[in-house]
Amino acid sequence: MRFRLVVDGEPRRVEVEQGPEGIVIRVDGAEYRGKVRHVDGGIEVRLGPKWRRVGLVGRTAVTDDGTHEIEISEIEDEASHSGSKARSRSARALPIHAPMPGRVVRVEARVGIQVKRGDTLLVLEAMKMQNEIPAPHDGIVKQVRVVEGDSVIVDQIVAVLEAH
């Protein structure tokens, strides 16, 4: 998967691949190999000898070295467009992923409704905190894949929006 990641205002290009020995993460061309494990309220990532805990609360990442404001958006592979770059202007269905493991406590998104960037789609509870999951862009809700009470894992698709 390819992502555009903005950390504290600094844009980064990130690619993540899952392999048999763990994950491969490329950040702006630099490659890191490691492992990821899910823990209560977040994840732990090992790149090198040390495990580092990362918790997400809304658009804030809490790490060993402090807090960071983040924005993540998935970049579609050109191959998935069958070679057509013209589709970028047309409406596309884009998945919305859970940014953290947790329990769904409220679902505000309904199939067919129009949402604006920042509108709350659902609320996840993690580490006894409620975290609103916002729409990353304007669009129409095409699918809602969770209901109240569901447990989700990080990166699980929770909804699908058709971008405008």
Would you write out the chain's pLDDT as a tens digit for each of its 164 residues?
A: 777 888 888 998 888 887 777 788 888 889 888 888 877 667 788 887 888 888 777 677 888 888 988 887 766 554 444 444 444 444 578 889 888 888 899 999 999 999 999 999 999 998 889 999 999 899 999 999 889 988 888 888 899 899 87
100 class by beta-carbon count within 10 Å (0-12 exposed, 13-18 middle, 19+ buried)? buried
CB 114 within 8 A of CB 3: no
How many other C-beta atoms are found inside a 10 Å radius of the C-beta of residue 7? 15
Cα separation, 144 vs 18, in Å, equals 26
Cα separation, 112 vs 152, in Å, equals 23
Cα separation, 24 vs 19, in Å, equals 7
Q: Which domains does the chain have, with CATH numbers?
A: 2-75 (3.30.700.30), 91-163 (2.40.50.100)
SS3 5: strand
Q: Is the pTM of this model over 0.75?
A: no
Q: pLDDT value at position 81? A: 46
Tokens of 129: 């905190």
